[in-house]
Amino acid sequence: MPVEWGKTANVKWRVSLPEAGNSTPVVWGDTVYVTQAEKAAGKRLLLAFERGTGKVRWSAAVAYGDEPTHPTNPFGSASPVTDGDVVVAWFGSAGVHAFDAKTGKTRWTRDLGIQKHTWGYGSSPVLWRDFVYLNFGPGERSFVVALDRKTGKTVWQADVPKGAGAKFNQWSPEDMYGSWSTPVVHGGTLLVSLPRKLVAYELATGKVLWSSEGLSDLIYPSPVVAEGMIVAASGFGGSAMAVKTGGAGDVTASHRVWHWPKNKGFIGTGVVKDGYLYWVDIGGIAQCVKLSNGEAMWSARLPRAGEDNGVWGSPVLHGDHVYVMNKSGNTVVFKAQPGSFEAVGTNLLDEPSNSSVVVSGGEIFLRTHKALWCIRKPS
């Protein structure tokens, strides 16, 4: 896997995208799937690209007009999900849509109602066996829902109580409350980071099996599950915590292992290797944290790469290396080691991006606001 590339070095192909989007590509076999919007045309798109060439294999469109969001969060923010047979995409108020993975033909559509928040939406759907799970929200209507994979019908729905955070400058208390986190399936449970708590739902029924207090009002990262622990973090100066798996009811006192009351805030989700957690906050500060007790082993600012060194994407672990792309579309590769921070590559594309690095079969796929890139060492 390459640790160095540039606009021409180690580039297999680059294809232009119609406009900006924050979603991350999904790879299955010889196809790369990307959600996309064409705002002026009133379209939400799912694009399927040939992995080998970058050519568009098919395009599926959903018609929908304008809806509230923030300029930094264009439509097409949620990533798609596939099992090789069906591809599912959530387009906010435009609904959940399932397409045939090979042809792009619509299998089913499901209108879950209006999703309305000042900052838009971002949670991605999750596929597990016969279910599609979605953290719908944030806004006036927020809930976790399980849909039938074949029909899109609701299997269960767990409403998330409406709340409000602290007023901050021009933002109202309602703006400062909500979860954009993508759920995680683990050990017979659906783990969801919600405002102020981490919740484990029973996969088939939606019954709450356990929960732990300790999160803040704004939630972006997904839970990280590793070595019998779950790490959940908040955004915008909020808290972070680690909880032992299992338990029943409120496990805050019995299973919460460590708790950071305040940090700069995370949007991306961390990774774990050999008992150590590696994550990067929104300001571009990388940290190595001992999973067992929350001790910070080191903290380092990523090498300056481009105009905006902030990070919205999630770091990705491959072997002994962590890959993370900043808001300038430039990727820093550093070693996953607890002793000290050591960068091994700083790779410049200089195209704005809020997406995550995708690693698959010796290739790296990067989505910027301008293009989809495939990075690979020459044969």
Is the full-model pTM beyond 0.85? Answer: yes
Checking 172-175 for CB contacts under 8 A at 24+ apart, the result is 172/118, 175/117, 175/118, 175/119
Burial of 77 (0-12, 13-18, 19+ CB in 10 A): buried
Local structure of 48: helix, strand or coil: strand
Quote the pLDDT of residue 373.
98
- CB atoms near residue 41 (< 10 Å): 11
pLDDT tens, N- to C-terminus, the chain (379 residues): 899 999 999 999 999 999 999 999 999 999 999 999 999 999 999 999 999 999 999 999 999 998 999 999 999 899 999 999 999 999 999 999 999 999 999 999 999 999 999 999 999 999 999 999 999 999 999 999 999 999 999 999 999 999 999 888 888 999 999 999 999 999 999 999 999 999 999 999 999 999 999 999 999 999 999 999 999 999 988 999 999 999 999 999 999 999 999 998 999 999 999 999 999 999 999 999 999 999 999 999 999 888 889 999 999 999 999 999 999 999 999 999 999 999 999 999 999 999 999 999 999 999 999 999 999 998 7
What is the fold, at CATH topology level, of the domain defined by 1-18+267-379? Answer: Lipocalin (2.40.128)
Three-state SS for 54-78 is CCEEEEEEEECCCCCCCCCCCCCCC
Quote the pLDDT of residue 288.
98
Quote the pLDDT of residue 167.
83
**What's the CA gap between 223 and 215, in Å, rounded?**
11
Strand-pair partners of 288: 278, 298
Quote the pLDDT of residue 18.
95
Does residue 338 have a cis bond before it (omega within 30 degrees)?
no
Checking 163-169 for CB contacts under 8 A at 24+ apart, the result is 163/195, 163/196, 163/217, 165/195, 165/216, 165/217, 165/218, 166/217
Quote the pLDDT of residue 306.
84
DSSP code of residue 294 = -
DSSP code of residue 94 = G
The domain limits of the chain are: 1-18+267-379
